[in-house]
A and B are shown apart, each in its own frame.
Chain A
Amino acid sequence: MSFLTLSHLQKSFGATKVVHDFNMAIDKGEFISFLGPSGCGKTTVLRMIAGFELPSGGSIVIDGKDQTRLKPNQRNIGMVFQAYALFPNMNVFDNVAFGLKVAGKPKSEIETRVKEMLKLIHLEHLADRYPYQMSGGQQQRVALARALAPAPQVLLLDEPLSALDAKIRVSLREEIRQIQRQLGITTVFVTHDQEEALSISDRIVVMNAGKADQIGTPGEIYNRPTTRFVANFVGTLNVIQATLVNGSTGALKIGEETLSLPQSIEGKADGSQISIAFRPEAAMLAGPSTGPAVLSGTVLSSNFLGSVLRTKVDLGGNIISFDMFNHPSATLPKAGETVTLALQQDGLMVLGD
């Protein structure tokens, strides 16, 4: 049985419906990321779980208890905000102790727990500092310790890394994941950064226009997107238009060339137009060949991106990109050059629109 269940959750602001029939079951100790563009409703769902927004419909159940109508201070939920939200009038110790003091815990217990939390985030030596005396990364770690101190049932993270610089962001996200695993706390993380979501989540919910477009593991979301939106939003995607030659054999025609998919294509009539997608890393330069997934095209441009070389190619009127790993003897294909690309057959996806 799931630990956190969101059933038919809806939210409207006036006439605008921002969350449509959102359903999800989260297991105890799972790390779930809500990923999506601005305005897709991911933060609204998070705020409904926290109790800051009252759902227009549906229910929120945590550990078998309906929390839909409970006030935020009646739920046992910890939250970390994008803007840190440390109390400026309190030092680190008092910030972390706040939830415990509100709960009326004995002084000795508060002291022990705060020290334990500060040790967890490696900031024991900054207990006397005030928020304005610390860096953004340190403040966010204190905010995490403060949220965890009262031992909440669920931890909510609302874009906690967005205000930090790139290097701190990477190290802090790894720290968050490591602490989450250590405590085994059920966590919901909101982000618009796909790399963040892919790197730390057990499962990802890709949200679009108030709905969950796809829920799956990072591998499923990246390698097997079920909608065009998910395919486009997560990672870079090449989409080429093809004509279905034979659905049962998976034979397609792209421009004047033919291509075979490893699986049959159902639900489409032979001769109809379909969209085939693949990631830039699913294509590689090959010698002239007649393999099942080999296409030739004209190089439009090449870019050196450090660890990879990205090249744009015109494949029968479809503009695609493919990546090659950089190495000292690597050469960039020149614009106007004709190249042959071998596509990994299992990297080809038929998009449902």
Chain B
Amino acid sequence: MKRLWAWAALIIGLLYFILPLVGMTNFSLKMRRGEYSFDAYAKVFADSRFHETFSYSVWMALLTIIFGVFLVVPTAYWVRLKLPFLRPYIEFITLLPLVIPAIVIVFGYIRLYNTSSWLPLTGSYVGTDILLVFGYATLSLPYMYRAVDTGLRTIDVTTLTEAAQSLGAGWVTIIGRIILPNVTVAVMSGAFVTFAIVMGEFTMAALLNKPAFGPYMQLLGANRAYEPAALAVIAFGITWACLGLMQLVSKLQKTPQRPV
């Protein structure tokens, strides 16, 4: 009997999540009257703004990931190695983007870096790109930091560092050739989550007036019927592909070092 209830709960849960997706996908295929077609997808792919915004967001995502790795890996490593007493505070700080809305962060940036400030980043195209990368890195911080910190937990950071030091290595060599390669899987997990966040983010890109994928989806949704559904399916596909890649990369990880 218990088993039956468990199956029933699972089926209800799956229907709750899958039915809207099925409905949306079904709707996105009904652009042509009376028959199923990929017309909506063809229109989306043919739209030059789709290509522009999509490629812009991909670039921003890659830059955010690179910036995030350079920011988070050395920080998490240093905290674990030298400042373990700071870990709870650092964890708290990295969680703040989950409770502070993106609109607050971006308005903070706009106020702090406006054209009359000492660092007028909002005054140029590249400047707003930099602000957007900073904003995206902030939004992805909870996921990136946790992923890297978990990765660092699986290796003996202190002993590996000391072993490398005794062999003559400096900090850059240690981070670049010992620590980073051993937390690659964790970094990749954080990177894929960051990618998914950046591809769907609307608030920051819209308020900084950037041609990103999020504002494009919103714009399309406000003016068209079938294309937004097709775009939503594409966005879901991107997210799932990221999750799939995370699984794939984690399977490729070498077994951690342990005494045999």
Contact = CB atoms under 8 A, between A and B. Distances in A.
Interface residues of A, number: 34
B160 A103 contact: no
A73 B169 contact: yes
A88 B182 contact: yes
Interface stretch (A59-67, A79-87, A289-297): A79-87
Given A130-B254, A136-B260, A99 B159 contact: no
Contacts, number: 82
B48 interface: no
Interface in A116-155: 130-132, 134-136, 139, 143, 146-147, 150
Contact of A132 (B160, B163, B173, B256): B256
Contacts of A139: 259-260
Interface in B142-172: 155-156, 159-160, 162-170
A104 to B, nearest CB: 10
A250 B153 CA distance: 63
A72 B155 contact: no
Counting chain B CB atoms within 10 Å of each CB, the highest count among A132, A135, A136, A156 belongs to A132
Interface in A77-108: 77-79, 81, 83-89, 98-99, 102-103
Given A88-B254, A88-B256, A73 B156 contact: no
Interface in B221-260: 254-260
B185 to A, nearest CB: 11
A50 B45 CA distance: 62
Contacts of A51: 165
B156 A85 contact: yes
B259 A83 contact: yes
Contacts of B160: 85, 87
A34 B149 CA distance: 36
A79 B170 CA distance: 16
A99 B168 CA distance: 6
Contact of B259 (A79, A99, A163): A163
A52 interface: yes
Interface string A240-253: 00000000000000
B178 interface: yes
B259 A50 contact: no
Nearest to B154: A88
A86 B255 CA distance: 13
Nearest to B167: A99
B162 to A, nearest CB: 6
B181 interface: yes
Contacts of B170: 73
Given A132-B255, A136-B260, A87 B168 contact: no
A77 B163 CA distance: 11
Contacts of A150: 167-168
A73 B165 contact: yes
Contacts of A77: 166
Contacts of A103: 168
Contact of B159 (A71, A85, A98, A102): A85
Counting chain A CB atoms within 10 Å of each CB, the highest count among B162, B163, B254, B255 belongs to B163
Contacts of A143: 163
Contacts of B173: 102
A81 B159 contact: yes
A103 B260 CA distance: 31
Contact of A79 (B156, B162, B260): B162
Given A102-B173, A136-B260, A85 B163 contact: yes
A81 B254 contact: no
Contact of A89 (B168, B254, B260): B254
B166 A87 contact: no
Interface of B: 155-156, 159-160, 162-170, 173, 178, 181-182, 254-260
8 contacts: A73-B170, A78-B167, A83-B156, A84-B257, A84-B259, A88-B254, A130-B254, A132-B255
Interface of A: 50-52, 71-73, 77-79, 81, 83-89, 98-99, 102-103, 130-132, 134-136, 139, 143, 146-147, 150, 156, 163
Given A73-B168, A156-B166, 5 more contacts: A78-B166, A83-B159, A85-B160, A103-B168, A147-B167
